[in-house]
Amino acid sequence: MITDIAPAPERVETRPTRPHGRRRAWDEVPRWHIYLPLSIYLLFTLIPFYWILLFALRPAGSTSLVPWPMTFDHFGKVWNERAFGTYFQNSVLVGIATLVMTTLVALAGGYALARFDFRIKKAFMLALLCTQFVPGALLLVPLFEIFANLRMINSLGSVIIAETVFQLPLSMILISGFIRNVPYSLEEAAWVDGCNRFTAFRIVVLPLLRPGLIAVGSFAFVHAWNHFLFALMFLSDQSKQTIPVGLNTLMSADSVDLGALAAGGIIAAVPVVIVFAFIQKWLITGFSAGAVKG
């Protein structure tokens, strides 16, 4: 008995052809179409940095376009004569303290926003967003009065608290987004295993938040590092001032020492560049994760 066997259906190529075509088209694009615009863009970005390096490294009065003969006199001047060593220490302290306080408080607030429902939650989120539209300069006088009543004028603590307060809303919103991305069932499983809420959070959720925490922490650090206004207004003693204020004192009413200013700018920029070089991988992951389900 012969049984007709239906022929096996032809294997249909299910993979869409377009991406392949696209890839081929992409491969056919001459390399210079990609590299030329990128190089031009890179030049625009890097030339100002080269200019700062040039002013910082060439001797005063030189008009050479290359930093040769090279001198480190400007760095010595700002570090030793213009107290940049002290400003640097203060900026590091303000930056790290702001980072720690912002991250800790934002973590607690962000967890509450992500995991609990409460009556004014939407209004609270809206209020957090609205605070982003208020410039710091508007709040200077009230903040000054508060710190004066607390006897905190001319203390680094005033700057740290003010910076933390201004960083918190955005940090809380971001961290609540990161926490929402962590499945709630993971925490529940930890509870079943005997953890309380805090321990479950610490052992299960916190390690998963690392990219987000790095993103928020570095954002807080860089903002505190660069911020000028609060340090200028709340600190008077030269031994307590920070790098942005120090940079401004290099520009007098009628004269600017460009070499010293460039050297001071490099001293101010290097820590931030180093921080970003180390954390950029987590930073991008962190911000994109927070952006998906904010």
Cβ–Cβ under 8 Å, residues 234 and 158: yes
Which residue in 234, 231, 228 sits closest to 151, CA to CA?
234
In the bound state with other proteins, the residue whose beta carbon lies nearer, of 60 and 130, is 60
What's the closest the beta carbon of residue 173 comes to other proteins, in angstroms? 15
- Residue 120: burial class (beta carbons within 10 Å; 0-12, 13-18, 19+): exposed
Terminal-to-terminal C-alpha distance of the chain: 67
In the bound state with other proteins, the residue whose beta carbon lies nearer, of 115 and 223, is 115
The residues of the shown chain that bind other proteins, judged by CB under 8 A, are: 60-61, 63, 81-82, 93, 97, 100-101, 114-117, 140-142, 144-145, 147-158, 160-161, 184, 188, 190-197, 199-200, 203, 232-233, 236-238, 240, 245, 248-258
What's the closest the beta carbon of residue 60 comes to other proteins, in angstroms? 5
Residue where the block lists tokens 């003010």: 162
- Residue 154: burial class (beta carbons within 10 Å; 0-12, 13-18, 19+): middle
What's the closest the beta carbon of residue 110 comes to other proteins, in angstroms? 13
In the bound state with other proteins, the residue whose beta carbon lies nearer, of 71 and 154, is 154
In the bound state with other proteins, the residue whose beta carbon lies nearer, of 53 and 203, is 203
Cβ–Cβ under 8 Å, residues 256 and 196: no
What's the closest the beta carbon of residue 13 comes to other proteins, in angstroms? 41
In the bound state with other proteins, the residue whose beta carbon lies nearer, of 99 and 170, is 99
What's the closest the beta carbon of residue 225 comes to other proteins, in angstroms? 16
Cβ–Cβ under 8 Å, residues 75 and 263: yes
